Structure 1
C-alpha cells in the first residue's frame, strides 16, 4: 500500500526534465488543481499551457506517448474551460498565441489528429472573443490561418461537419473579409484559398450552396467601392498632392485582382460560375465597361440580404451611402 502511495506522489512531483511525459503528467496535475482562473493563479495557468505546448511539440518529434496521455486526459478541455471563464485579455492573448505556435510546429499528421479530435478546436474558433481588441484579433486570425494551412482531404473532416453542414473555420474567417486592418484581410484571403484548394466535393458544395453567393457578393461590392474611391482620388487630386494615398489604393486594387485570379485558377467550376457572374454584373459592366464607353458611372448595387440558413453575418460590412 505504501509503495502505491509513494508512486502516486511521485507522479505529481515536478520532473527535472521539462521535455518528458512525466513533466506533462505534472502539468496535468497543475491544471486539475487550478480549474478556476483567479488573479492568484492566472500567470501559473498561462505558464502551464506554454509548458504543455512545448512538451507536445517535443513529443511530436520524439515521443508519441505524450499525445496518448494528452488525449486520454482530454487536456484540451482544460484550455477551453479557461477560455470560457472570461479570464481577461491577457489569458486570451496568451492562449491564442500558444495554440498558434503549437499548430505551426506540429509536423506529423497523427499528432495533428490527436489535437483536432473531440472538436475542441472548433469550439475555440466559435468562441466569442473581444475582436475590438487589436491584439486578440491579430492572434485569432493568425490561428485560423495556421489551421487552414493544415487542411487537406484527411484533416478537412475535423473542420467541416457534413452531417450538420457546419464549417466554422471558413464561416468565421470570412466575416472579416473587409476588416479595416489590411493584415486581417490578407489572412482571410489566404484562409479562403486554402479551403478552396481542398478537393472535397461535399465541402465545396456546402460553400457554393450556403456561403458563395453572400461572400462573393459582398467581396465584389467591397472591390467596387474601392474602385470608386480610387477614381475619386484621381479626379480630385489635380495638384498631385495625394500620390501616397493613390499608390496605396492602386496596390490594394491589384491585391484584389490577384486574389480574384487566385480563386479562378483553382478551377473549381461551380464556385467560378458564382464568382464570374458577380464580377460581370456587379463590377466589370457597371464600373469598368460603362466608364470606357463614356456612360455615367454607376455605383454597384449594395448586395442584397441573403437570408440563408447558417449564412455568416459579415463583420463591419459596408453601408450604403
Structure 2
C-alpha cells in the first residue's frame, strides 16, 4: 500500500489519538530503510508523529508514554544514521523543531533532552550545502537555545568532557554569509552566556572557547573597520560595511552586559588591545 493511500484510508479515524500513534509507529518499523519508493511515506509519518505528540502533551499523557515506551527518539537517531537523504533529514529536523517549540510539560521536555539524543542530532554530518536543510538546522539550534536555562543546561553540557555541542556546532556558522544565520548564532551564544553555571564557565567557556571565539570576532570587526577607513579615503563607504560594523558593536555590548564579569572583562581586554588601535590610528 502506498503512503498516499495509507494516509487517505485513515482519514476517517481520529488523527490525534494513541491508536493513530501506534499505527504510525508500526509504519516506521516496517520502513527502517528509506528508499525512493517509501521516502514520501516516511516524511509524512514523521510529520504526523510531531502533531500527535504535541496534542498528547496537552491532552493525553498516554500518547507520550507510548513514545517513551517504544523509545521512538532512538528510532529517529537510527533513521538519521541510515543516511536517508536530505528530504527525510529536513523533515526530521522540522519534526524535532516543532516538538521542542511546542511542548508544555517539563517532563516531556526533559525526556527529549535525556540520553544525549539531541547532541547526537546536533553533531550529525548533515549536507549543509543544501540551503533548505541548513535553514532547518539553524532553526533547530535557535529553538533549543530558547529552551536553555540553568535547569536544562546539564542535558546539553557534558561537564566531565567539557563538551557542549549546541554551542560548538553553532559557532561553525558564526561568520556565515547569511545575516539570519549569524543572528541565530549570536542569539544562541547570548543564551549560553546568561547562564551562571560555574563548571560551564570555567572548564568550557573561560578555558576553551571564549578567547579564540572573542579573538576571531574582534579580528573580523577590525577588518571591517579597516575597510571602512580605506573606503572613507575615497569618499564612498559601502552601507553594508557600516551595518555589519554596527552589528558587531551591538553584539559586543550584548555579550558584556549578559555574560559574567570574567567573560566580559576578557572581551573588553581584547577590544582594547586589537580594536581601539584601529579607531585611534587616524588621530596620530
Same fold judged by TM-score > 0.5? yes
Residue 82 in 1 paired to residue 79 in 2?
yes
SS of 1:254's partner is: helix
- 1:108 corresponding residue in structure 2: 105
Structure number having the greater helix percentage: 2
- 2:121 corresponding residue in structure 1: 124
Residue 60 in 1 paired to residue 57 in 2?
yes
Structure 2: tracts of 5 or more residues without a match:
1-8
Shift of residue 65, structure 1, vs aligned partner = 2.0
Equivalences for 1:2-13 in 2 at 5 Å? none
Residue 44 in 1 paired to residue 44 in 2?
no
1:163-182 Cα shifts (integer Å, max 9, x gaps): 22110000110111111111
Distance 1:207 1:267, change over 3 A: closer
Select the residue among 231, 247, 258 that pairs with 1:255.
247
- 2:5 corresponding residue in structure 1: none
Tell me the number of residue pairs that the alignment of Structure 1 and Structure 2 aligns. 274
Select the residue among 279, 289, 297 that pairs with 2:280.
289
Q: Whole-Å Cα distance in 2 between the matches of residues 163 and 68 of structure 1? A: 31
Shift of residue 157, structure 1, vs aligned partner = 0.9
Larger radius of gyration: 1
Equivalences for 1:136-155 in 2 at 5 Å? 136-155=133-152
Shift of residue 219, structure 1, vs aligned partner = 0.9
Shift of residue 268, structure 1, vs aligned partner = 0.3
Select the residue among 184, 193, 196 that pairs with 1:199.
196
- 2:92 corresponding residue in structure 1: 95
Residue 18 in 1 paired to residue 18 in 2?
no
Does the aligned pair in 2 maintain the 1:177–1:188 contact within 8 Å? yes
1:6-33 Cα shifts (integer Å, max 9, x gaps): xxxxxxx968111111111111111111
Q: Whole-Å Cα distance in 2 between the matches of residues 28 and 117 of structure 1? A: 21
Residue 169 in 1 paired to residue 160 in 2?
no
Distance 1:152 1:133, change over 3 A: same
Residue 269 in 1 paired to residue 252 in 2?
no
Does the aligned pair in 2 maintain the 1:144–1:191 contact within 8 Å? yes
- 1:9 corresponding residue in structure 2: none
Structure 1: tracts of 5 or more residues without a match:
1-12, 295-321
- 1:29 corresponding residue in structure 2: 26
Superposed structure 1 runs of 4+ greater than 3 Å apart: none
Does the aligned pair in 2 maintain the 1:67–1:114 contact within 8 Å? no
1:10-59 Cα shifts (integer Å, max 9, x gaps): xxx96811111111111111111111111111111111111110011111
So what's the TM-score if we normalise by structure 2? 0.91
SS of 1:213's partner is: helix
CA RMSD of aligned residues (A): 1.7
